[in-house]
Amino acid sequence: MKRMVLVGFAALIGWGEVVHWRAARALVHPPKPARSEAVVVLGYRNRRGDRANALNRWRVRAALRSIDPALDSVLICSGAGGGPVSEAELMARYAVAECGYTGEVRLEDQSHSTWQNIHHLARLIDGVDQVKIVSHPLHAQKARLYLHHQRPDLAARLVRGADYRPGEAFLLKPLLAAHGLRQLARGKRHLARIENRDPGYLDAMTGPEQQDEAFDERNAIEERAATRSVLLPEEQAAGSEDAEAQAKEVLRDSEHRVED
CA distances, 83 to each of 87, 90, 177, 250 (Å) = 8, 10, 28, 19
- Mean of all residue pLDDT scores within the chain: 84
Residue 251's pLDDT is 55
Torsions phi, psi for 176 (to 5 deg): -65, -35
* HSE value, Cβ hemisphere, 13 Å, CA-based, for 34: 23
Q: Is 73 helix (H, G, I), strand (E, B) or coil?
A: strand
Q: Which residues pair with 73 in a beta bridge?
A: 37
Q: Positive or negative, the Cα torsion across 95, 132, 34, 31?
A: positive
Mean pLDDT of 205-213: 49
**Type of residue found at 166:** P
Residue 212's pLDDT is 53
pLDDT at 109 over 70: yes
Q: What percent of the chain has pLDDT above 90?
A: 66
- Can you give the pTM of this predicted structure? 0.78
* HSE value, Cβ hemisphere, 13 Å, CA-based, for 53: 16
- Under a CB-based contact definition with an 8 Å cutoff, are residues 78 and 117 in contact? yes
Q: What angle do CA 203, 150, 112 make, to 5 degrees?
A: 70
List, in order of start, the domains of the chain with CATH numbers: 2-171 (3.40.50.620), 174-258 (no CATH)
37-93 per-position pLDDT tens digit: 999 999 988 777 789 999 999 999 999 999 999 999 999 999 998 788 999 999 999
Q: Positive or negative, the Cα torsion across 96, 159, 139, 128?
A: positive
CB neighbours (10 Å) of residue 103? Answer: 14
